[in-house]
Each structure stands twice: as C-alpha cells, then as structure tokens.
Structure 1
Amino acid sequence: MRISDIFGLNKSQYELDFVDIIPSRDLPLFLDPYLISKMDFPLARDAYKTLQNYFQYLLDLLRNEEIRQAEELFSYLGETNELCLGLSEGTPAGKGMGPTDAENIFASLMESEAYVTGLMEDIEDFRIFVPNVDKDKVSDMTANIIKKHLIKYTQRQCALWDIPLQEGVISGHFWNPATRQWEIEYTNMLVHNEKKIILVPKKFVSYSKAYSSDVYFNHFVLNFYQNKHLKQQSSLVKYRKDKTPYVTKKSIKKDLPKPNKEWLADFTLRHPKVFEQFKAETIKREQRVGNEDLSNDDLTSITSYLVDRLDSIPVGRKHANDYHKMVVGILELLFY
C-alpha cells in the first residue's frame, strides 16, 4: 500500500507534491543533487546550500591534510532507509551506503587526484570521478546531508493532509551548515508500523541516468576524440560513398586505454571544457520524473473525477477544509 492509501488521503499521485512511496519496498528512483542544484524554489535552494556546505568543508579538510577529521565526517553517510527509494529488493534495506561502503569510498577518494586538483566541485561529481560510487550511493549521501530539510518537508506535508506524526522520535544524523557538524535531535516524525518515513518532493528525484561517467565518456569524451581524429585526418578516419569523412566510436575505444574513473579525471584535467559542456548539457537530459512514471492512474479519469468532486462539495465553512484540499490537489496536477 502507498502512503496515500495507508492514511486514507483519497488522492492520486498527480495531486500530491511528494512521491507516494510504498513503505514495504523501495522505488527505483534517486535523490538527484544535480537536478536539485538547478531548481529555483526555497526548499531546493536551501537543500543545495547545505549540500555545498558539507562538500566544501570535506574538501577543505582533505586539502589541509586533516584526514582523520575528514574520515569521521564521511562516516555518517550511511544508507537512509526512511525514504524508500533506491535499488533494494523487497523490504528497504540496502544496496546503498553501508558503513563498509563509506570506508571504501573514502579510501577511493583519498587515492584520487580529483579532489586535490579542484576537479571535483559538487557532490554529484563523486559519481563521475570516484570508483565504486553510482547513483544509489550519491542518493544516499544526499539524503543524509539534507535530512533535516526533508524532515521539515515531511512535517509540512503531513500537516497539509492531516497525517498524524509521532512525537519525540530520534531524527537520525543530519548536517548542520551553521555549526558544520553532524547533529541529531528528537522531533515529530511520520511513523508507520514502527518504521520512520521521510517524504521526498517529486521534483527532487529522477532515474539519474544522465549525470553518469558512462554518459560523460560515451557522449562527450568520445565525441571530443572523433573531432580530434577528423581534424588530424588520422588513420581512424573512414570515408562514406559520398566522400564524407567519419570516425566510429568503436574504433576510438579500441585505440584508447580501457577507461576508468581515474582515466576520466586525468582526461578532464587536460580538457576541462569537455566536462564543462557535459555539465551544461546534462540538465537538458536529466529530467525529474513525471506523474505517469510514478503511477498507473489515467489522467483523463482523474481530471473527470476532480471536476465532479469539486462540484459536489457543498458551500459553507463546514466543508472549507475539503474544498481547500481539493484545490491543493488540482493545483499540483496543473502546475507540476
């Protein structure tokens, strides 16, 4: 059952600002920091400022060779099962960041020149340049850092839809940009079957397919080498029947060393404009999920129902709350 069913909201995904999760299993969606960075509304701006605050502080510690403190800072980036997002099979548990994963990723980061050279500017760049980091782990890292923002968002959504919260629940660690420390607090949280649940805005999640090392290599790095070989008229250049020259990506792959993330970092240091182009164009490719991706509900049927339901609500103060909730849902459908 989805959250909307559990708490009797009688709302479709089209009418809800948050991802209508199924607490018993993970949805294959991911918090996308790159997507968040390009959004211009208060929650997104505040969340990304917190991400940047953490990441820049981590890099400062590493560059100042305060390794022990940096490692401790990194150790809090475990998996956040409260979101019910990611790649877990069955009950949300874990293909994301466990304690061992955090240790291994930190070790990989220490072996990489990406942070020393200033190549890594944003937390999403972990996925491009640091071995053993992909969308699931970046999503978990993001969730931990901005957890306080997401808890406050959950509290607001629960107030809006009259979903009961449990008082005095331990929040789990979150990053406080003011103190530059991991903190924990007791607060009001959404709890179902003794499981804490944190809601996530639909705008914050994607399938995270575009901002990846594979896309960077196959669609930007290889394109760079195609143009280079054409300009140099190298031995990899072939000709079509109309004498048009071309170079296949397959031939370039054979000509290059087998790429890994360290190789990508080295390439990027030598050709930074290629990475700049990748970052600039990725936002056009990386799209937030649509309601149709999250639900099998038929939009035509939903709109017809909403029109009929709106017309059926009696006038008067007694029914004002029902009318307000109906209008909120309709506005969400219209403007998402």
Structure 2
Amino acid sequence: MASICTYYNIIPTSPTPFADLDVHTDTPQFLDPYAIRLLGTSTPHAAKAINCLDTFLEELVLTALSSDPAVQARGAALPAFPEPRQTRLGLSARGINGHGGAEVIRRRIWDAMSTDLRPLLHVGVLRHLEELGFYIKDVGDDITSDITTRIIFQALVDFTQEMLALYPEFTANGHKTATVSCRMWNDHTRQWEMKSVTLPVANDAPLLLVPSGWVTRHPLMRYGRFFEVTMLGYIQDLHTQYTPEGKPLQTPKDLLVPRGLASRDKREALRKTLEAYESGRDLLAEHRRFVTAKGVPPQVDLLA
C-alpha cells in the first residue's frame, strides 16, 4: 500500500489539496456530489462539477418525460457509465463492473427514470443526481460515486492539470505522464464526448486526482440516512397519536420496521415520497435541509 504522496515522494507542509489515496488499489471512500455542492465555489473547480451534474440530470429528465421516440432513444443512451478506474476510489467488487457491468446500470437507471420515477420528475421534487439512489435498486454509494466521477470528469481533469503544475514531483524522478482518451460530459453541448487528456501515471495506470474535500467515507446523500432520518420521521408522524391533553405518543423509529409500519424497500420509499408530496410535504427538500444543516464532516485519514 502506498499513498499518492508516498509514491511520488511528496512531502507536504500542510494538507494537500488532493485526496491522498492509495495508488495500488481502490480506497473505500467515495466521491460525494453533495459534499461538492456544500463546499461550492470555495473549492476549486466545484462550479464546473456542479454544472456538469445538473445539466446531465436536466437532460436525463427532459428525455425521460418526452413522448418523442427519438428523444427517448437519445435519453436511454445517456446513463452509460463505464467504471472510471483512474481515481482509485470506491469498492472494486461493488462498483459498476461488480454489479454486472455498466450496461446493467444504464438500463436500470433509464427504466426507472422513464417509468416509476416519472411522477417525481413531473412535480419537480427530484432535483439532484445523487437522489436517484433513494429509489433505484442497486444504485448505492459506490455506483453514485462512479457515476459522479464520469459526469464531472472534465472538472477532475482540470484539477489534475492544476496539481501537475503545482507539484513537480508528479513528473520527477522517472515519473511520467500519459495522454489517454477519456469519455466525459460536456455541460455546454449536453452530450458525451471523447477527449485526449494528460494524466500522471502511477503503478502503470493513469491517475486522476480528486480534491480532498470532495471525498467522504459515508456519502452525505446515502439512502440509509434518508430512510432512517427523513422517511422514518414522516412515517412516525403518520402514526402519532395524542392524549386528551394533546401530548403526542410516538412509536420509536427503531420499532417502525419490526412492527410492519415501514419498509426499507426503495419502491415503498418512492410511494411514500409521492404520498407525502400529495399531502403537502416534500421529503426530499426536508432531507436536503437536514443534510445541509449537518454539513460535511471533518476530513479523516483516507487510508486509515
């Protein structure tokens, strides 16, 4: 095991702007799109990354809601995400390839967007790409991280170029760069395109650097957090009774599932989200406010 700093003999006097990941194997951390949103423009290249995420989702929603077969065909091809190997992030056995290939994930996302999720898209409550994992089977932390990497690839390339200029160690002592062809989202044309980019090479493979603040051990918008905090909170409210004196009697959250009052099934989460919206509650907006208030946790040693 060797971190990026160890591999390139970088001796930082302060924390590096890039996440100091293992160059030999994937680190069980995740590129977190909501952390990027919260850090915002104070983080280099965040504005580009956020615009890529948002334009991609806008295009996906637009095509999913279209009744034009040609537009739908274009949309069906959008969520094609070959697993990005350049960042050294994620869970190798559970990434896109580990779930049976990029084609399986592409089909699963498009099928959900063009069928079950259409009611959410119509009312406009699903606003961020990272919220897809609340409702689509097998789209969890690892898949969301991989998808995010592919969509914001241009921002990560720009950041890597900046780090190459800032740290001469990346091209010293026999270390080299390589020109590779990569697929990335163009947020202006709103299309995928192939571009040749120059990346450092580590352990005989191209290396894409990631801003340290964009990496979390537990993604902020993970399904478990949404279910346990916001969804169970809503269901708890539904089953709250009151004494004659007006005192609320609530079923503890940890008893809602065992008593059959709640289900972790993502299809049920979708049904409850729509039910809540029809009664005047936007659970996704509530959860965004909760996560935003909690903020991004302090950075920890990524290799610990």
> What SS class does the counterpart of residue 10 from structure 2 fall into?
coil
Cα contact 1:26–1:85 (8 A) shared by 2? yes
How do 1:245-264 and structure 2 match up within 5 A? 245-253=249-257, 254-256=259-261, 258-264=263-269
Cα contact 1:203–1:289 (8 A) shared by 2? no
> What SS class does the counterpart of residue 174 from structure 1 fall into?
strand
Deviates further, 132-141 or 183-192? 183-192
Cα contact 1:172–1:184 (8 A) shared by 2? yes
Matching residue of 1:8 = 9
Indicate how the Cα distance of structure 1 residues 33 and 173 shifts in structure 2: closer, same or farther if over 3 A, else same.
same
CA distance in structure 2 between the aligned counterparts of 1:62 and 1:246, rounded to whole angstroms: 40
CA distance in structure 1 between the aligned counterparts of 2:29 and 2:295, rounded to whole angstroms: 13
CA distance in structure 2 between the aligned counterparts of 1:184 and 1:273, rounded to whole angstroms: 38
Indicate how the Cα distance of structure 1 residues 245 and 73 shifts in structure 2: closer, same or farther if over 3 A, else same.
closer
1:175 aligned to 165, 168, 185, which one? 185
CA distance in structure 2 between the aligned counterparts of 1:93 and 1:222, rounded to whole angstroms: 29
How do 1:268-279 and structure 2 match up within 5 A? 268-271=273-276, 272-279=281-288
1:166 Cα offset (Å) = 5.4
CA distance in structure 2 between the aligned counterparts of 1:51 and 1:213, rounded to whole angstroms: 19
> What SS class does the counterpart of residue 78 from structure 1 fall into?
coil
Matching residue of 2:232 = 222
Amino acid at match of 1:46: K
Deviates further, 270-279 or 15-24? 270-279
CA distance in structure 1 between the aligned counterparts of 2:230 and 2:243, rounded to whole angstroms: 20
Amino acid at match of 1:152: D
Matching residue of 2:143 = 137
Matching residue of 1:207 = 217
Is 1:36 matched up with 2:45?
A: no
Matching residue of 1:122 = 128
1:183 Cα offset (Å) = 1.2
Q: Percent identity?
A: 22
Deviations 1:103-138 (A, max 9, x none): 233333333233344332110111112222111111
CA distance in structure 1 between the aligned counterparts of 2:303 and 2:178, rounded to whole angstroms: 33
1:33 Cα offset (Å) = 0.8
1:233 Cα offset (Å) = 5.7
Larger Rg: 1
Deviations 1:259-317 (A, max 9, x none): 42222122222323333221111134452551x43256xxxxxxxxxxxxxxxxxxxxx
Amino acid at match of 1:47: A
Amino acid at match of 1:37: R
CA distance in structure 1 between the aligned counterparts of 2:135 and 2:96, rounded to whole angstroms: 26
1:61 Cα offset (Å) = 0.9
Amino acid at match of 1:138: T
> What SS class does the counterpart of residue 186 from structure 1 fall into?
strand
Deviations 1:245-267 (A, max 9, x none): 44223443324263422221222
> What SS class does the counterpart of residue 82 from structure 1 fall into?
coil
Cα contact 1:28–1:86 (8 A) shared by 2? yes
1:209 Cα offset (Å) = 4.5
Deviations 1:41-85 (A, max 9, x none): 25112210111011101110111132211111112x121110000
Q: How many residues align?
A: 284
CA distance in structure 2 between the aligned counterparts of 1:230 and 1:193, rounded to whole angstroms: 57
> What SS class does the counterpart of residue 199 from structure 2 fall into?
strand
Matching residue of 2:271 = 266
TM-score normalised over the length of structure 2: 0.83
Matching residue of 2:60 = 58
Is 1:152 matched up with 2:158?
A: yes
RMSD: 2.8
Cα contact 1:205–1:288 (8 A) shared by 2? no
Cα contact 1:119–1:265 (8 A) shared by 2? no
1:93 Cα offset (Å) = 9.0
Cα contact 1:202–1:288 (8 A) shared by 2? no
Matching residue of 2:109 = 105
CA distance in structure 1 between the aligned counterparts of 2:248 and 2:161, rounded to whole angstroms: 61
Cα contact 2:35–2:220 (8 A) shared by 1? no
CA distance in structure 1 between the aligned counterparts of 2:96 and 2:136, rounded to whole angstroms: 24
1:193 Cα offset (Å) = 3.8
Deviations 1:185-207 (A, max 9, x none): 22221112431110001111112
Indicate how the Cα distance of structure 1 residues 49 and 288 shifts in structure 2: closer, same or farther if over 3 A, else same.
farther
Matching residue of 1:24 = 24
